[in-house]
Structure 1
Amino acid sequence: MRERLKGLLGGAARTLNPQCRFPRALFVLAHMRCGSTALSNILCSRPDISGYGEAHVRYDHPDALGRLVVNQIRRGAWTPQAHYLFDKILHDRHDLDPDPGFYDARAIFVAREPAAAIRSIRKLYAGLGRTDEYRSDVETARYYIDRLATLSGHWDRFAPGARVGLTHAALLADPDAALARIGTALGLTPPLENRYRSPAASQRGGGGDPTASGQFTRIEPATPDSQADRAIPLDIPDALRTEAETAYAAFEKMTGVDKVASPASTAQSGPVPSQYD
C-alpha cells in the first residue's frame, strides 16, 4: 500500500513539476565506498541542484523522477527552484534496466581500486552490525564486479557531453582539479567548489555515509597508495581478484581516466583519512 501511494504521488509530481524530466537530472553512478558521499555533498550544496545522496529510487519508469521528488520532500531535501534533480545510484536494483529517458540525464561515473573498496564495504557493514549483507570478501567482490559491469553498460548510452568519469584516487589527490573536470565536462556553471554542508538526510536511512559524512565540510586531499591498495589481502580466489582488477582497469580505459595526467598532489602521503575508509 505504501509503495502504491508513493507511486501515485510520483506520477502526480512528474505531471505537475517541470523538474521531473530526465534532461534535468544529474546522477552519480558508482559503487559503495568510492568517495561518492563527499562528492554528492558538494553537488547538493549548490542551490541549482536538489538532492541529498542516495534516494533508492528505481529508474524503470518515466515517473521515477516524480518518486525522487517525493523522496526528497519526505527527507526535507527538496529545492523547488533548483534546475537539477540529483540522485546517487550504487546498486543494480535501481538502474539495471532503466527507462530509455534515463540516458538523457547527466552522469558522473566513479570507481575505486577493488581491494580497497571491498575492504571498506566489509568494514562499513561490520561496523553497522549488518552481518546479513556483504558477509564475505567473495560476496562483496561479486557485487563490485557486477556493479562495474552495469556501469560499463551505461557509459556509451549517455551523450559524450553529458557524462564524465573519475576515480577515487584522482578525487583525493587533487579535489579541485577533479571538480573542475566534472564541471567542464557537464557544463555546470558556476564552477564546482570544494566545500559542502552534509545534509542530515545523507547521514541516515541509507542516504549516504552514516559514519564520517557529518565530520567534514570539504574533500580533504590525500594520497592513496595504489600499490599498497592492490596488495591488500582478500579472502577470495585469485581468479576472482583478477576479474575485479580487470573490471577496474576497463573502467579507467572506458572513461578516459587513464589518459588524464595525474596532477601533482599537495596532500601529504600516508594513511587515507577516515573520510574515505
Structure 2
Amino acid sequence: MENFIHLITLLKQPSLIKNYKPIILLSHMRANTSLIGHILGSNSEINGYYEQHIGYYSWKSLIRQKLLYCKQHDLKEKSKYMFDKVLHNEHFVSPTLLNNRHAKVLISIRKPETTIPSIIKLYQKVDPSHVFSTLEGAADYYIARLQYLVTISKQLNNYFYYDAEQLRDNTTECLAGITDYLKLTTPLSPEFKTQKLTGVGNAGDHSGNLNSAKVKKVTTDYSEYDLTQIDIKSINSLYEDTLSQLKSNA
C-alpha cells in the first residue's frame, strides 16, 4: 500500500526524480529545532521544515524522505536541498551517508537546565503517561542523546555546530554562519513562514511561538522543576564536555 501511495506521489510531482542535497540536523528535543527548521524551510533553496521521524541508512532513505514529504507538500521550483532533523537515538543515521560530499550536517545542543524541564513540560501536555514526562525519563533521554552526538561527530568529515541558545540570543550571527556553511544564494532570515504542519501532530513545537513567524527571545520560567533530584551537576558536566568535543570535532 505504501509503495502505491509513493507511486501516486511521484506521478503528481515528477520533479521528485531530481537529486536534492540533504541537510540533516542532529540535535535533541527542545533545542529550538522547530524554529531553525522553519527558518530553513522558508528559504527558496530548501524543502522541508519538520522531523520525518525516519532513519537514514543509504541513498534509498533520501528517496523515501522525498516521497514522504511530497505526500503533503510541493517541491519548490529551483530548490536544491531537502532538510530533515533527527532527534532520537532510535533513528539510525549512517555516517557514510553524511560524509557524502553533497550532504550538509548541522549539530546543535542546548543547556540541560532549560532542555530537561522543557521536555517534561511538553510531554505532560501531550502524553502524561510517557516516561519523558518525568525528571528521570527526560534526563536519561538527554544524557543518551548527548553521548550519541559526540560519538557520531567523531565519524563525520565535516559539520557545522551552533549553540541552540544562539539562534534566539544572537540570531543574525548564527544565521549568517549557517547561510555561509550551506552556501545559500539567499541568506537565511529571522522572519519565516508558518507551514501546513506548523504545530500539528508530531511535526514539532506546539507552544504557539512559531505563529509569530519570526524569531522571538522567549524566556520560560522552569522554577517549579527541582533539578537537584537528577544530579544536575553531573549532567551539566556532561553538557560542558559534550560542547567542547562537538566544537573541537567540527
TM-score greater than 0.5 by the shorter chain: yes
Question: 2:18 — aligned with what?
Answer: 18
Q: TM-score, normalised by structure 1?
A: 0.76
Return the match for 2:203 from 199, 204, 207. Answer: 207
Distance apart, 1:9 and its partner CA: 9.0
Distance apart, 1:11 and its partner CA: 11
Distance apart, 1:243 and its partner CA: 3.8
* Secondary structure of residue in 1 paired with 2:215: coil
Q: Is the CA contact 2:26–2:149 (under 8 Å) kept in the aligned structure 1?
A: yes
Query: How many angstroms apart in 2 are the aligned matches of 1:112 and 1:85?
Result: 24
Query: How many angstroms apart in 2 are the aligned matches of 1:6 and 1:141?
Result: 39
Q: Is the CA contact 2:51–2:203 (under 8 Å) kept in the aligned structure 1?
A: yes
Query: How many angstroms apart in 2 are the aligned matches of 1:75 and 1:214?
Result: 20
Return the match for 2:237 from 217, 228, 246. Answer: 246
Distance apart, 1:25 and its partner CA: 0.5
Question: 1:69 — aligned with what?
Answer: 66
Query: How many angstroms apart in 1 are the aligned matches of 2:6 and 2:240?
Result: 39
Question: 2:164 — aligned with what?
Answer: 168
* RMSD value, Cα: 3.2
Query: How many angstroms apart in 1 are the aligned matches of 2:19 and 2:28?
Result: 26
Q: Is the CA contact 1:47–1:82 (under 8 Å) kept in the aligned structure 2?
A: yes
Distance 1:11 1:61, change over 3 A: farther
Q: Which runs of 5+ in 2 are unaligned?
A: none
Q: Which runs of 5+ in 1 are unaligned?
A: 258-277
Question: 1:117 — aligned with what?
Answer: 115
Distance apart, 1:52 and its partner CA: 2.2
Distance apart, 1:125 and its partner CA: 1.0
Question: 2:179 — aligned with what?
Answer: 183
Identity %: 23
Distance apart, 1:6 and its partner CA: 7.2
Q: How many residues align?
A: 244
Return the match for 1:56 from 32, 41, 53. Answer: 53
Distance apart, 1:46 and its partner CA: 0.8
Q: TM-score, normalised by structure 2?
A: 0.84
* Secondary structure of residue in 2 paired with 1:134: helix
